[in-house]
A and B are shown apart, each in its own frame.
Chain A
């Protein structure tokens, strides 16, 4: 710690410190565990490396690699903020000067920065006002920060543009193709799988003309199939790597409908993230969803009603 400057009294410092810590805390919350972001990256690199070194076409076929593209708009934002700040400062100075000129014309003392500051300081250093100010600042900050912080990292409504304009509304809605016809992994394990091109070709060998896009989109499947180029779908539902999620667990063991989490898929042309996929949302469902009590009776548990009763709220069900 450096030397203390004599001018500023403790209250101000507390005021400042509180503000600084709030901002600091805000920053931390926003940081949203950079460690885990890192972890994401680590795992993705694995997948990327796996595909890079051509790990196993057979018997180990290439893992469906999860590729990452970082699109940072930080620089643009920073420049914009800087310019705006400059404009604001400029305007403040101009208006202060004008105000001062008016006062001189009216025969009053010109506006001096030092005098204004002194006056403000007198008010601010009043212990009552300072304490009240502290509270107000904290409360306002909480009101704004908490909801924002809660929403950080969630992407409800995320609807990226896909490489192929594929409509679930047509496939799942109009033609009533069963979800598991394409997403075959749902009942088998952790991942639901985006269908491989050969699955598309089961139907599209015959169907070459789309009702909305004509040949434009369907030809992309043909291109992928004929040239052995995988399609880079954009992943919509992303859970952090610190959470383990298993489709089989929910669909087979838990007998959940796809729509519970994925929403009205059959009505979506382009899929968006329906659920918030936050932990609170998960937990809430675990509290409310009833399980097959008969099965548990068979296994000797009489008291089981909801997922919570079989430990659905325990941390290490998903985090390990």
Chain B
């Protein structure tokens, strides 16, 4: 194990094609015009009078020009009346809750009243400090210059809110009390929002509220809902499960509440030295997902086979014969391991949006005794409120509606399968209103496009899990003339208070009585707003009914109408649930029907989500964790099919399915089930979404189907036909090669040697059983003559900053990349420049495959490795810089001094880790980047910049600084308070956002710190240790739980 495993960072390397060999040779491949400048003529110092005059003239002009430029006169303009709680120059942090991202708790950093960074709230019960990339990046959408600055009325009339209210209220009233009004929105777990909608319904009794999610989990909610006010899905405790079976549920990447799940999952996966146990994760899925890439056993199955596998697990558990055992008896093995785990020690999660599948999975978990232990129904999740059955007849309903109001950027024209039909019907509706932060596909067809606030500008609340209440407080007054949809509905409901007052009322009546410790509501409210979060009792008195009671009381005068109107909201409304046996039979029938046809899967990605925030370059340039592609969606094609047909990355192909087709480039995916194609949603927003999203990718929502009353993201009979064109994809990792991997001359013989080096020096792994026997398993560290050094070790008397990354916890989600982008003012460079290998990310996540890319039996594995500046003590970059622009600090940091840098790029060439990034352009200034680098180039976008970090100019090198501005800030805080540094406060941007707590940062000279302990962990190693660079980043060996493969009982 360990030594001779074959790793490859992409198919380019696996196939060792010549272009790959070439790219690995040099970090900077563009040939310099050396021929010209080294020619005899130019070396002979043969200049003539004209040359002289040119240089002379230029020098003189430059001197004259610069001497003449006056230093700018800068003004210092104080407040007239300074507010008490604003301290210019100092960051303040506020707790709030995003309206997106499944209601996780967050902290927002605010400088001079500008929110500049979004991080996870460590106190919050769900995410415990983790934060996902989309929530972090959505900050930039606050400063999106394409936002609606003022509401738009019919025929593009700009309208003030007073006029909007008057017009719309009079129109609503003229429709009469029985008028059918549709309120269309996305999942919103807030209690106050719910009461608000009820209020609105009380005023307009004909109102029907429709909640849908573009990528739905309705089936899961349907089988778990109890007919209460909220639809519910289970609360999962991944940390308690010893065996986790994932059935096409990307719970670490995009499924329901990935940050929360990753927190639990990583807790169960971390291996302690004293008592090494970890959960075992088996995953069945059609395409390689982020979750699948982390599994101990991941078997690719096409969707039809997955159905049979779900049925098979149930069959096996009830003791019957398993109809389809799966490749290598994978299904049988899963059953065996689930059984062995013991009652209540396992967890089966299924991401298939099909009632039959979910019914069977529920039955499986019941048999395994997981309800009550790993599955929490005391505190079910309210994160999924989208009801597909509301949408099945949406077009017909819309055509009969008198009015339709789209709440919170609901955009069915884009993200609903029948979007084109909606687009046809929508203009005929008597009154159509859309709340949007900027015009979208739907609002464009509505009479009114009302300027909605960003979630950082509004009050709101959330209840992601039963009894876990979050508060959303505004961080900034609305930048434009925008108002939240809640505030607006308050007005339209005839209540002239603000939504804030309603939240307080609801919280005082319904939440405060549920176990608050504070004596008064006022202090309870203040504490909760400060913490952003309140955990209410769910046991004891029957609160659910109490809540319902209140609901009926609020609009007392309309109680009867309200009840009638509220009825369709209830989750259990709709078709009855099948029993497990029927469902299992249905699954097997699906399998038999579809097992031989090619299938097409639509999926939600970690990077782009549903597409709501497509106009965000941080998300566009955030590489997909698996494919590493930026600025595009694409057809994921299984390696086996691609090899057979001779397709390769970037071939434009037409995917046809169910009478619809889409043209996209191909990405060949190792480990994808044969005859399965997949495309992610969230792209193809078109011109309307804004300058960033313009022309990026294609929309595949129209290809979503309907099966058993819920959206189906799988369809059959797909065909892929290349069109004979090929485009260059903007992929990141495979473009960057380690020097160690590049010294082969090409050809097959050499490849093996190169790969072995990855396993020896870059990523190391072991198995749980080997680790139990020996704590240094898989972690052979170099010794001998390599360990001599020419240089003296730097003295680090004060602090010695260091980082440790647990490869066993890191899931590769890449939330750290976005966090780093925001913290360090990193430029986004756009599709072309990424393709030129010039992306600026200081932190990348390398993923290495291991095994056969054609594998269909679960023999292909993956390792994710975050790679950033290793802050080497013997830094190769430092010794080659001719101007001392990169030097070592007394605290072990490898400092990059932008102002000294003259851009020779020697340092990057000499860096064995290839983590230095060069500013090829003035990204903040050059108009070629105005559409992609909005956080720096755009006047409004620039408000997001971190004022403590320099925006780098053209021609300088940059790299990870270990967030030195955060270090300095924490040091100063400690100094001012006259104390030692607090280990817990020391977090880099990447570390604080990590939902898996894989990144630990701290002071090695502090023997009580966590980092000190980790540096003494026997799993620790440095990347390319034999080069003797003495990095300050430690990696901990990845441990795989092979389960019964090595007759290992995961439950012991």
Contact = CB atoms under 8 A, between A and B. Distances in A.
Interface of A: 1-5, 8, 10, 13-14, 16-17, 19-28, 30-36, 38-46, 49-51, 53, 55-74, 77-78, 81, 153, 155, 160, 185, 188-191, 193-199, 224-225, 228-235, 238, 241-242, 244, 246-249, 252-253, 295, 299, 301, 303, 310-311, 314-317, 319-320
A72 B75 contact: no
14 contacts: A32-B66, A39-B953, A60-B86, A63-B113, A66-B77, A67-B77, A69-B73, A70-B70, A70-B72, A190-B89, A193-B88, A233-B78, A295-B978, A314-B895
A33 B887 CA distance: 20
A34 B62 CA distance: 11
Given A4-B46, A30-B62, A16 B52 contact: yes
B32 interface: no
A189 B74 CA distance: 21
Given A57-B477, A60-B477, A248-B976, 19 more contacts: A1-B47, A2-B48, A3-B48, A4-B48, A23-B56, A24-B62, A31-B66, A35-B954, A36-B953, A42-B942, A49-B939, A56-B114, A59-B475, A67-B75, A198-B81, A234-B76, A249-B972, A301-B798, A319-B950
Nearest to B72: A68
B41 A39 contact: no
Contacts of A41: 72
Contacts of A58: 83, 477
A174 to B, nearest CB: 23
B825 to A, nearest CB: 10
Contacts of A33: 899
B47 A26 contact: no
A61 B85 CA distance: 10
Contact of A16 (B56, B78, B950, B980): B56
Contacts of B968: 244, 317, 320
Contacts of A310: 798
Contact of B90 (A17, A21, A190): A190
Contact of B474 (A59, A188, A225, A230): A59
B58 A320 contact: no
B936 interface: yes
Nearest to B919: A35
A208 B47 CA distance: 73
Nearest to B473: A59
Contacts of A63: 88, 111-114
Contacts of B480: 53
Given A65-B77, A316-B893, A20 B55 contact: yes
A66 B477 contact: no
B477 A225 contact: no
Nearest to A228: B80
B895 to A, nearest CB: 4
A4 B965 CA distance: 54
B62 A189 contact: no
Contacts of A315: 887, 889, 895, 897
A120 B477 CA distance: 75
A197 B964 contact: no
B55 A21 contact: yes
B67 interface: yes
A38 B922 contact: yes
Contacts of A247: 89
Interface in B36-66: 41-42, 45-52, 55-56, 58-66
Contact of B889 (A225, A232, A242, A311): A311
A24 B46 CA distance: 19
Given A252-B976, A314-B891, A66 B59 contact: no
B68 interface: yes
B756 interface: no
B953 A38 contact: yes
Given A61-B113, A235-B75, A242-B950, A1 B51 contact: yes
B951 interface: yes
Contacts of B898: 242, 319
A160 to B, nearest CB: 7
B948 interface: yes
Contacts of A3: 48
B49 A5 contact: yes
A26 B899 CA distance: 18
B949 interface: yes
A41 to B, nearest CB: 8
B79 A196 contact: yes
B78 A319 contact: no
Given A59-B474, A61-B83, A235-B76, A299 B980 contact: yes
A189 B90 contact: yes
A181 to B, nearest CB: 14
A31 B76 contact: no
Contact of B52 (A10, A17, A49, A234): A17
Given A31-B66, A198-B82, A244 B74 contact: no
A5 B47 CA distance: 9
A56 B477 contact: yes
Contacts of B976: 248, 252-253
B950 A2 contact: no
Contacts of B65: 27, 74
A50 B88 contact: no
Contacts of A78: 64, 68
Ordered nearest first, which 6 A-B pairs have the shortest CB separation? A60-B113, A27-B62, A35-B953, A190-B89, A189-B90, A63-B112
B884 to A, nearest CB: 9
B759 to A, nearest CB: 35
A315 B798 CA distance: 16
B48 A73 contact: no
B776 interface: no
Nearest to B113: A60
B889 A195 contact: no
B60 A23 contact: yes
A225 B81 CA distance: 8
A125 B45 CA distance: 17
Nearest to B47: A13
B890 A2 contact: no
A299 B799 CA distance: 11
B945 interface: yes
B77 A20 contact: no
Contacts of B85: 59
B942 A69 contact: no
Most chain B CB within a 10 A radius of its CB, from A1, A36, A229: A1
B75 A233 contact: yes
Nearest to A23: B59
Interface in B971-996: 972, 975-976, 978, 980
Contact of A20 (B59, B68, B79): B59
B947 interface: yes
Contacts of B42: 1
B113 A55 contact: yes
Given A36-B953, A71-B70, A314-B895, A49 B940 contact: yes
A94 B359 CA distance: 107
Contacts of B114: 50, 55-56, 60, 63
B955 interface: yes
A200 B71 CA distance: 30
B797 interface: yes
A53 B41 CA distance: 58
A23 B51 CA distance: 14
Given A42-B951, A295-B978, A73 B70 contact: yes
A225 B49 CA distance: 65
Nearest to A24: B59
Most chain A CB within a 10 A radius of its CB, from B71, B76, B476: B76
A35 B955 contact: yes
B943 interface: yes
Nearest to A10: B45
B88 A185 contact: yes
